[in-house]
Structure 1
Amino acid sequence: MTVTVGDPNDVFCALSDARRRHVLYYLLEHDDASLDELADVISGWLTVGRGITTTPHRRNRIRTDLHHVHLPMLADFGFLEYDWESHHVELRDLSDEIQKLLVESLSVERARTTETPSPLRSQGG
């Protein structure tokens, strides 16, 4: 069954958190992953370019948040399947609309992390 855009509020709620978006970006490339694999990847992605060190504590906190909050929410919205016992995550068959939205969102996030900050932004303006 293909996941389609139902209520746009549900889609945007699911995509409103960077951890959930990054889970979906990763799964678009790999189809499935373990919880530990996602915790490693997400903790790295969320710290790169921000001057933050990925520590075991930070990685474990992200793993816990993924397990208890983000993966169940994405499963409830129908984006993925999450097995609580094996900690296996598998992307569901997403509609073209949702895939396009994710690809565009990833493009915007990549551009934002590679652009040079403007003087106004660095001064808080």
Structure 2
Amino acid sequence: MVTRGDQHPGDPSENDDARGVDRLFASLADSRRRHVLYHLADDERVSLTSLARRLVAREDGCGTDEVSSEKAARVETDLRHAHLPYLHKAGLIAYDEESDVVALERLPPPVESVLANCRAEERSSDGS
């Protein structure tokens, strides 16, 4: 097996790299997490409440003013406890729990490219 530098097969750093790539692609595999990233790519920083309302509006095919408070609250809870920590651990977002602001981290060019391709594919399949 060919290794990089002084690494040997099974070195912890090699496993960490693989886990990082796995986490990145697992992050992008979930539709809601991808749409969080799409919204942040457009706005860079948003409140958690605004983000939740936008996601519900997209998922339900309605305007943000038509989103029920109850549904927005459920999505906000889902984001706070599941999706945002996952995206944060993957190094894709920053989340300030005190201010409830979500921000996009600076993405490496390959990640930007993959995300842009995913977005284009989803737009073409949605007809938008």
Once residues 92 and 51 of structure 2 are traced to their aligned partners in structure 1, the CA distance between those partners, rounded to angstroms, is 15
Partner of 1:78, secondary structure, is coil
Deviation at 1:54, TM superposition (A): 4.2
Q: Which has the bigger relative contact order, CA under 8 A and spacing at least 6? A: 1
**Aligned twin of 1:83:** 96
User: 1:57: Cα distance to partner?
Assistant: 2.4
**Is 1:97 aligned with 2:110?**
yes
Aligned-residue RMSD, C-alpha: 2.0
Larger radius of gyration: 2
Q: Which runs of 5+ in 1 are unaligned?
A: 116-125
Give matches, 1:43-122, under 5 Å. Answer: 43-48=56-61, 54-114=67-127
What CA distance in whole angstroms lies between the structure 2 residues aligned with 1:18 and 1:47? 14
TM-score, normalization: structure 1?
0.78
- Residue 27 of structure 2 corresponds to residue 14 of structure 1: yes
2:35 is the alignment partner of 1:30: no
Amino acid corresponding to residue 29 of structure 1 in structure 2: D
Q: Runs ≥4 in structure 1, deviation > 4 angstroms?
A: none
Which consecutive residues of structure 2, in runs of 5 or more, have no partner in the other structure? 1-16
Kindly provide the amino acid, as one letter, of the partner of residue 89 in structure 1: V
Counterpart amino acid of residue 124 in structure 2: A
Cα deviation digits, residues 44-86 of structure 1 (max 9, x gap): 111218xxx8433222111110111111110111001101121
**Residue 123 (structure 1) aligns with:** none
TM-score (norm 2): 0.76
Letter in 2 for 1:85: E
Letter in structure 2 aligned against 1:67:
R
Q: Which amino acid counterpart does residue 110 of structure 2 have in structure 1?
A: E
